A and B are shown apart, each in its own frame.
Chain A
């Protein structure tokens, strides 16, 4: 299904070249003012296209606003109405309402099911086109078209890859506090297209996408035997991974998708193992009496960061992907856990526990530069946006005084610590995992 969408996509990008200082946002540093942006509802050729234009414009607006980097100006203030994509902006009209950027778009129906989306991004003060594109797409893929346009705008303005055309796999929680029912669930990054993938009969935990997003690896307690499984997104087929004598858990794919790393617990000891998915060969990477778990590859696949209590309490360690050259990297107060290497390679995100509280933080791969970006009674399990600029995690509120448990929800926060926001999910939600950018696959 996913595949047919991608085949139907036809993306033409024209990038004008300019040497002048340009409209841009630096998202690497501290908090910056959101960019005032005009986004009139896209013009349309016909009634059917008009409805589509409203929906697509709305999704682009919601994507850009959610990033905290754009402020979409109130449409009531707009002085110019566009009739088509060839209508040139009257820049003084947009300067008058202090728009810095302007997004202009148009929708046409090419046939019953085929739409064409045209978009232009303008620098209002320089009176210059920054970007233009045309997509031809099956109308069922309109959400993805909107996310791809928002990604293109984000990229043109920030210089970073976008993250709107992505999905989230997570654990949907229902049931009583003492007997949680947990199901695999998947949704778009903005909570739309939500779908439950398992029925809740078996406890499932810690899902992760394969790099090509065809599979999810996760832990299932099927038949009271906790093991790592693979879920095929297209067919829904679930399959146990390998033949291990003990509990396997905490799985993750290698960046090339050909291997899984995970923990196995046997006889009271937990170590990290690598499974080659092509040959089914198993390699033990750690061998100590301590608990070694939560392994995560560096984006080049050459290193693995993991969690170990070999020092007496949970800390973060980095080793070569063959298990050699183990080095401790976390030395702050408290316990460190669930390390995840950024897809950019520049940071490692983690969960930290100190003074009775939980934190989400980032540090450089050498352990320096620790920065905490979220805190709470229980915040856990960071996962990176594909551009390495945003973290999602889950937050569980403490039970109240009469024992009513608090809500468990997924949040996102910029690695600067700004723009924390809650994702809307139909039920409680934990263990999020962010997909790569869909349009790169």
Chain B
């Protein structure tokens, strides 16, 4: 239920192409969540394949949802062979800076390896970890943290 709300929010922000702030009801606590488009992201890619997958706390294995998203990404990339991507690994802020940089790298590499296993050429995929430096949403609760534990596939020409 919560997830759907966030997904809908993300979609709105990405389609309109600008940042939006919307209050979200959560167990009598008002939190405000901001979702921002990744700079320079390819809109056709975002519309045809979701651009991000989410991870459990301190985890870097792919969930069933994540696998489904990455399959779509792989198909889109195979259909658009002129496009290259950067996979950005991110974490929530419930860890220390150094460790989170390493964890973000693990997440990005997990996604890269999965895309390769689905037939995407390894040379087309670069990885970068931002650790906890570039959250997608602000919040001191699991709803926010779970949106920040992510790997985002960003299309670069």
The complex places the Cα of A179 from the Cα of B96 at a distance, in Å, of 18
B118 in contact (CB, < 8 A): no
Asked if A206 contacts B138 (CB within 8 A), the reply is: no
**A314 with B140: in contact, given A178-B36, A267-B109 (CB under 8 Å)?**
no
Asked if A405 contacts B105 (CB within 8 A), the reply is: no
Asked if A206 contacts B98 (CB within 8 A), the reply is: yes
Asked if A403 contacts B99 (CB within 8 A), the reply is: no
- Residues on B with C-beta less than 8 A from A182 are 133
- A203 vs chain B, min Cβ distance (A): 6
A345 in contact (CB, < 8 A): no
B11 in contact (CB, < 8 A): no
Asked if A337 contacts B32 (CB within 8 A), the reply is: no
The complex places the Cα of A348 from the Cα of B93 at a distance, in Å, of 23
Q: Could you mark each residue 392-407 of chain A with 1 if its beta carbon is under 8 Å from any beta carbon of chain B, else 0? A: 0000101101110100
The complex places the Cα of A267 from the Cα of B111 at a distance, in Å, of 11
Asked if B110 contacts A403 (CB within 8 A), the reply is: no
The complex places the Cα of A213 from the Cα of B39 at a distance, in Å, of 38
**A265 with B101: in contact, given A224-B128, A401-B31, A403-B32 (CB under 8 Å)?**
yes
Residue of B102, B106, B128, B138 touching A399 (CB-CB under 8 A) = B138
Q: Could you mark each residue 20-38 of chain B with 1 if its beta carbon is under 8 Å from any beta carbon of chain A, else 0? A: 0101000001111110100
In chain A, what residue has the closest Cβ to B88? A224
B136 in contact (CB, < 8 A): yes
B103 in contact (CB, < 8 A): yes
Residue of A180, A250, A377 touching B98 (CB-CB under 8 A) = A250
The complex places the Cα of A399 from the Cα of B32 at a distance, in Å, of 10
Interface bin, chain A? 35 or more
- Residues on B with C-beta less than 8 A from A351 are 96
Asked if B138 contacts A294 (CB within 8 A), the reply is: no
A380 in contact (CB, < 8 A): yes
The complex places the Cα of A314 from the Cα of B103 at a distance, in Å, of 11
Q: Could you mark each residue 202-229 of chain A with 1 if its beta carbon is under 8 Å from any beta carbon of chain B, else 0? A: 0101100000000000010000111000
Asked if B136 contacts A249 (CB within 8 A), the reply is: no
Asked if A293 contacts B102 (CB within 8 A), the reply is: yes
The complex places the Cα of A353 from the Cα of B102 at a distance, in Å, of 17
In chain A, what residue has the closest Cβ to B93? A378
Asked if B105 contacts A294 (CB within 8 A), the reply is: no
Q: Could you mark each residue 334-365 of chain A with 1 if its beta carbon is under 8 Å from any beta carbon of chain B, else 0? A: 01011000000000000101001000000000
B78 in contact (CB, < 8 A): no
- A184 vs chain B, min Cβ distance (A): 15
Chosen A-B contacts, 10 in total, with CB atoms closer than 8 Å, are A177-B34, A177-B138, A178-B34, A178-B36, A226-B129, A247-B105, A309-B99, A399-B139, A402-B23, A431-B97
3 A-B pairs with least C-beta separation: A403-B32, A268-B109, A398-B140
